[in-house]
Amino acid sequence: MLLRAFGLTACVLLAGCSSTQNTESAPNKSEVRSPSTIISSASADVWQQVNNDDVLRIDLPTGRVYVQLNPQLAPGHVDNIKKLAREGFYDGLNVYRFVESFVAQGGDQSGEKQPTQGSKGISGEMFLTTESPLEITPLNAVDGYADKTGFLNGFAVAQNSDGKKTWMTHCTGTFAMARGNEIDSGGTEFYITLAPQRYLDKNTTVFGRVLEGMEHAQRLLRTPVEGQPFNPISQVRVLSDIAGEDNSAFTVFDTSSEDFKELIESRKNRPSEWFIDKPNHTDVCSVSIPTKRL
């Protein structure tokens, strides 16, 4: 199944909107630290450990990609892909579609393989609807795709004006589910965005982000090579299931912390003396969420 209409490994990765222009004046450069200083000096309680039961390891010929899943915003998709991983559905399949600066898409290109535990198609979870507004760390900047953008529990998100609809945004390294024309037709064919693709927001279910290994997705073959398997997937596993083999563990910045709020301001107005023009602006895909291995 294809997206038919469209043709991080460093220890620390530098991985919200109102409908009116932010009119706040740019802060004095001495008031905001540099991004690297904010991250390196953050106290231990600013770093939150990622639950390994919500991490997938995707083994590719170029290396391992670790993906953090988001059960809060897309519980059905998280549950389904864990079932698929645990039954070995992806073992021996391929990342069969690579479009430069767009997506790397993997799964069962033939559409013939039948899951034994997971499902081929599940209900779309394009956004989460809540009875009361869901509190996020806002970016407070104009955004062309949503009324608000910001961050929620380590993920870049967007919302409608009243904050009662929340969804993940298509930034670089987004992990999402491809589908056909039918909203509920996605279930097995995942993709990783290679660059921001915000126009896909709310058109597919986004349910995770790459924690580490983005360069391995970027280095996949663009086209098949004769006599060579095309981007084979050795296996996809839930990290908590392979603790004896892989003891990887990750922490991410608490996106509700004061340090992260300062990081947003530092991205809006770079404090370095080199910058002579400071726009007092950034977008949700330009404030990467710091991530590191334990």
Tell me the three state secondary structure of residue 266: helix
Quick one: pLDDT at residue 4? 44
- For the chain, 294 residues long, give each residue's pLDDT as a single digit of tens: 545 444 433 334 444 333 344 444 444 545 789 999 999 999 999 999 999 999 999 999 999 999 999 999 999 999 999 999 999 999 999 999 999 999 999 999 999 999 999 999 999 999 999 999 999 999 988 899 999 999 999 999 999 999 999 999 999 999 999 999 999 999 999 999 999 999 999 999 999 999 999 999 999 999 989 988 999 999 999 999 999 999 999 999 999 999 999 999 999 998 888 988 988 999 999 999 999 999
The ranges assigned to domains in the chain are 29-293
Superfamily of 29-293 according to CATH: Cyclophilin-like (2.40.100.10)
Would the pTM count as exceeding 0.85? yes
Rounded Cα distance, 268 and 283, in Å? 9
* Kind of pairing between the strands at 155-159 and 148-152: antiparallel
DSSP three-state, residue 8: coil
Q: Quick: pLDDT tens for 97-134.
A: 999 999 999 999 999 999 999 999 999 999 999 999 99
User: Which stretches of the chain are assigned E, i.e. beta strand?
Assistant: 47-49, 55-60, 63-69, 94-99, 103-107, 128-129, 137-138, 148-152, 155-159, 165-168, 174-177, 190-193, 205-212, 235-238, 250-253, 291-293
Residues 6+ apart with CB under 8 A from 228: 221
pLDDT in tens, 4-29: 444 433 334 444 333 344 444 444 54
**What's the CA gap between 208 and 286, in Å, rounded?**
17
